[in-house]
């Protein structure tokens, strides 16, 4: 497997990051263990979760995904071989400090994640989304202290606009604090503008690794959604804005380009994402080992410059 450096750090990660939001939700613990085993056996080492996964499911208090990963790590052993990334910010307990990016919340949230994961340190601790009520200086100082205390190795952020990410980098430089080495934005070939308009250039300039989520846009870029076919799915309602003739034509193009190399639409979409200049590793979840194996097949696909140009043109958000 071709491991990549994560941003301006010495940390090397697999080019596909295993997302685990589905653990304890659409994948039970036994299935989750099978997915983790298959990913690790294939050489994967980068596992992403969050403390809130998946508190929106009835009966799930949050933290379940972390707990499943923790039990798997204990069973698997060799914890040092894996890069464990988790996130804090979401509401995990009652009261005014039960969510957010304040020192009060982050210190307890990180300790709770360590306990659920059953580990002594978190490789990559990320802010899950902006919290405008908390001064960024306070957040960056708290994250720096977590690193200095040995509880966290590296820090990253998720869903931050370019202006806040730039400000965070400035605070770190001014105060001699740990800097973000990664950004986790939503990004796919049918949702390019949000990242490419400003954050892409910033991440390339500052050496910030990019680990995008939803690179298959909720399943649309798997090829399951066609002009005459809309599968029954809890995500179908949220995908309506992507069900356009232009995007159907993009799916057709991915399918056509993949035929010669026997690559699926999923693999072609992910291969394009991996080959983007700022991307370190897209985050992909799987509900079965079979689904994971299809995803990992992406690593056998290398798009030519001509293929990339065709996909870029078909998915471009910029006006001609």
d(CA 166, CA 154): 18
Q: Which tokens in the block code for residue 162?
A: 């370019």
Instruction: Check whether the bond before 54 is cis (ω within 30° of 0).
Output: yes
Q: Of 39, 53, 187, 225, which one is the catalytic site residue?
A: 53
For 145, the enclosing helix (H) or strand (E) is: helix 136-148
Handedness of CA 258, 261, 266, 272 (dihedral sign): negative
Query: What dihedral do alpha carbons 212, 214, 216, 217 form, nearest 10°?
Result: -130
Buried b (16+ CB within 10 A) or exposed e, 234-255: eebeebeebeeeebbebbebbe
Q: Is 53 known to be catalytic?
A: yes
DSSP type of residue 180:
E
Give me 17's structure tokens.
């990051």
* Strand-strand pairing, 4-5 and 12-13: antiparallel
Closest listed residue to residue 11, CA positions, set 48, 51, 45, 49: 45
How many helical (H) and strand (E) elements, i.e. helices and strands, does the chain have?
11, 10
Please provide residue 112's backbone torsions phi and psi, each rounded to the nearest 5 degrees.
-65, -40
The catalytic residue positions are 53
């Amino acid at each position: 497997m071709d491991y990549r450096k994560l941003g301006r750090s010495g940390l090397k990660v697999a080019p596909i990051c295993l997302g685990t939001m589905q653990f304890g939700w659409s994948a039970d613990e036994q299935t989750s263990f099978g997915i983790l085993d298959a990913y690790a056996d294939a050489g994967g080492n980068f596992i992403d979760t969050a403390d809130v996964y998946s508190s929106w499911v009835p009966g799930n208090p949050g933290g379940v995904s972390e707990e499943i990963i923790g039990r798997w790590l204990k069973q698997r052993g060799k914890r040092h071989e894996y890069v464990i990334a988790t996130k804090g910010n979401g509401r995990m307990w009652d009261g005014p400090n039960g969510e957010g990016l304040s020192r009060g919340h982050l210190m307890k949230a990180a300790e709770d994640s360590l306990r659920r994961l059953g580990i002594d340190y978190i490789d990559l601790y990320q802010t899950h989304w902006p919290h405008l009520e908390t001064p960024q200086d306070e957040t960056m100082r708290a994250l720096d202290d977590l690193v200095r205390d040995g509880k966290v190795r590296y820090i990253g952020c998720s869903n931050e606009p370019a202006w806040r990410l730039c400000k965070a980098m400035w605070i770190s430089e001014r105060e001699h604090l740990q800097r973000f080495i990664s950004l986790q934005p939503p990004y796919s070939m049918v949702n390019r503008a949000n990242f490419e308009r400003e954050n892409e250039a910033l991440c390339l300039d500052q050496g910030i690794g990019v680990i995008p989520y939803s690179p298959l846009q909720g399943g649309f870029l798997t090829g399951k959604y066609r002009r005459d076919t809309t599968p029954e799915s809890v995500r179908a309602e949220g995908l309506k804005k992507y069900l356009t003739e232009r995007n159907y034509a993009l799916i057709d193009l991915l399918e056509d380009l993949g035929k010669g190399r026997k690559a699926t639409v999923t693999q072609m979409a992910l291969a394009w994402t991996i080959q983007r200049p700022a991307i370190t590793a897209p985050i992909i979840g799987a509900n079965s080992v079979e689904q994971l194996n299809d995803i990992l097949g992406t690593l056998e696909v290398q798009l030519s410059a001509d293929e990339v140009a065709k996909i870029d043109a078909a998915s471009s958000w910029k006006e001609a």
